Chains A and B, each alone.
Chain A
C-alpha cells in the first residue's frame, strides 16, 4: 500500500475496516441464540472481504514492492481450504472439542511461523517485542492445542500427569524463555537464538497442557483460542496490518471472557484449572477414600437392575428426568433415547432433560448433541430450572453422566470437584444409572450416588441398554 496507487491506497484500508465491522457484528450475533448462525455467516463475509483485499493487493501494487510466489499462495490456500473444509464436514459432533483444538492449533502454528519467517527475512540480530510475542504465544498455542487434541482423541492419556520434577522443568523452561527474550531484545542473537526461542515455546506448550486432566480440556482449548487471537494480533503489528490486529485482539479479548465464563460454569478458577492437576492419580485415591469414609463404612454395594425390570419401573411413572452425559454421546445413543422419551411421553409421562452446563465435553456441547437427535427445545432444562424438580420426579435416568451428579461436590472438601454445581439427581424418588462399568468418570473420582439405596445400576453401553429399555417398555405396554 503506498501513495503512488491513488484511490486504491484508500480502498484497501476501507475494505479491511468493513471486514472488522462485520467481525464485530458477527460476534455480537453469535452470542444470541436466535441470530448465532447469521453471526457466523457475517463473520465469514467479513473474512471474504479481507481475503479478496489481501489477494488483490498482491497483484495491484506500487512499483517499489516486489511480490513473489503467487502460485504457491493460491495453491496453499486451496490445499488448506480443502483439508479444513473436508475435515470440518466429516467430523462427528461428539468429536467437536478436539476438532476446535486442532483448528486452533493450526492458527497458532501459522502465527508462530509468520513471526519466524518475518524475523529471518529481515535478517536482523535483535527481534521486536511483537515478533517474539507472536512466535512464543503462537507456538504455545500450537503445541498446547495438539496435546489437548491428543488427550481428547485418546492418543495421550487423559489423566493429569503431574510430578514435582515437571514443575521444576516448567519453571526452568520459563526462565530460559525469559532469558532468550532478553537476549534477542537487547544483545541480539540472530536466527539461532530465534529458532531456539521457537523450540522452547513449543516445549513449554506441551508441558503446560500435559499436567491438565481431560475434564478441564474445554477450558484449556478456550484459553489457547484466546492465545492464538493474541498471537495473530502480534503478527498484525509485525506486518503492519490493521485487519489482523483487530481480528486477533477481538478473539483474544472475547476468548478470555469466554474462558472465564466457562470456569465459572464449572465453579473453578483459571489458576486452579492450569495448576491443580485435577484428575491425577493421587487425588483420585484421596477422593475415593474420602467418599468411602463419607459413606460410613468399607462395605459399599450397588443394586443392579435388568433392562426388563427397569422397563416395568418406567412404565409405571408419571415423571422422568433424563440426565444425559458424554457416555451417551460416544455411544451415539441420543436417537434411541429420544425414541424412548417419545414413547413415554405418549403414555402421558412428563419427560424432561437436565442439561448440566458442562455436560458433554464443552459447555453447550450436550445441547448440540441433543439437537442433532431432534430433541424438542422445550424439553431441555438447565441446572437452575431443573434442580427443584428432582424431588417431585419419579425417576431420574442417568445415561453416561457421572461427575455432574456426584453429591460429593456439595460437601466433600477433599474431592477435586468440590464446589462444582451439580444436578440433584439423588433427590429423585428412584434413580436409574446406565453405565458401562463401575469405572470412575472424567475427573477420575468415585461417585457415591451409585451406592445410594434408591439407585439401580443398569450396566451396558448406553445405546444397547436404552434399546433394551425400549423393548421392555413395548412389552410392558402390550
Chain B
C-alpha cells in the first residue's frame, strides 16, 4: 500500500465517522430535504467527470466523459435548487406559525 493510498484510506475512514455523527438526530420533518441535500452533495461527481473528460483522448472516451459531466451537472445543480425550494417553504411555514 503506497503512501497516497494510505492517506486516502485515512480520509475515507474518518469521513465515514463524520458522516454518521453529523446527522445524529434528524426530525422526521427534515428527512425529505436531508435526502435531497445529501443527494446534491454527491453532485460533486461532476468534477470527477470534468477530470476524466480533460484527459480523454479518444472519441469514445470524450463522449462518455461528456455524458458523465452532463449527468453530474444535472445532479449537482438540480439537487441544490430542489433542496432550496423545499427548505424555502419550511421557513415560510415557521413564519406563518409565528404570526398566528
| Residues of chain A having any CB pair with chain B under 8 Å | 23-24, 26-28, 30-34, 36-37, 39-41, 43-44, 47, 50-51, 54-55, 58, 67-70, 72-73, 76-85, 87-89, 91, 93, 96-97, 99-100, 102-104, 106-107, 109-111, 113-114, 116-118, 120-121, 221-222, 225-226, 228-229, 231-233, 235-258, 261-262, 265, 357, 362-365, 367-368, 370-372, 374-378, 382
Could you say which residues of chain B place their CB within 8 Å of the CB of A85? 77-78, 81
Q: Are B94 and A33 in contact (CB under 8 A)?
A: yes
Q: Are A87 and B78 in contact (CB under 8 A)?
A: yes
**What is the interface of chain B mostly: helix, strand, loop, or mixed?**
helix
Could you say which residues of chain B place their CB within 8 Å of the CB of A377? 93-94, 96-98
Residue count of chain B within 8 Å CB distance of chain A: 87
Interface membership of chain B positions 34-69, coded 1 if the CB is closer than 8 angstroms to chain A and 0 otherwise: 111111111111111111111111101110111111
- For B15, B32, B38, B75, which residue has the most chain A Cβ atoms within 10 angstroms? B38
Q: How many contacts between A and B, using CB within 8 angstroms?
A: 389
- C-alpha gap A136/B46 in the complex (Å): 18
- C-alpha gap A84/B36 in the complex (Å): 13
7 nearest A-B residue pairs (beta carbon): A80-B73, A253-B19, A377-B97, A84-B78, A76-B69, A371-B93, A249-B15
> Is residue B18 within 8 Å, beta carbon to beta carbon, of the partner chain?
yes
Q: Are B38 and A225 in contact (CB under 8 A)?
A: yes
Nearest Cβ distance between residue A346 and chain B, in whole angstroms? 12
Q: Which of B29, B47, B56, B69 is A50 in contact with, Cβ under 8 Å?
A: B47
Which B61-100 residues sit within 8 Å CB-CB of chain A?
61-62, 64-94, 96-100
Q: Are B23 and A30 in contact (CB under 8 A)?
A: yes
- C-alpha gap A225/B22 in the complex (Å): 17
Known pairs A231-B45, A376-B100; list 7 more (Cβ under 8 Å): A47-B43, A80-B72, A88-B78, A106-B71, A233-B15, A251-B19, A251-B38
Nearest Cβ distance between residue B87 and chain A, in whole angstroms? 4
Q: Are B56 and A68 in contact (CB under 8 A)?
A: yes
- C-alpha gap A322/B19 in the complex (Å): 37
Q: Are A37 and B43 in contact (CB under 8 A)?
A: no
Nearest Cβ distance between residue A331 and chain B, in whole angstroms? 19
Q: Which of A88, A120, A250 is B85 in contact with, Cβ under 8 Å?
A: A88
A378-B39 contact, Cβ under 8 Å, with A89-B85, A237-B8: no
Q: Which of B4, B11, B65, B96 is A69 in contact with, Cβ under 8 Å?
A: B65
Chain A: which residue is nearest B90 at the CB level? A371
Chain A: which residue is nearest B33 at the CB level? A36
Nearest Cβ distance between residue B25 and chain A, in whole angstroms? 7
Chain A: which residue is nearest B54 at the CB level? A67
> Is residue B28 within 8 Å, beta carbon to beta carbon, of the partner chain?
yes
- For A88, A222, A265, which residue has the most chain B Cβ atoms within 10 angstroms? A88
Nearest Cβ distance between residue B48 and chain A, in whole angstroms? 5
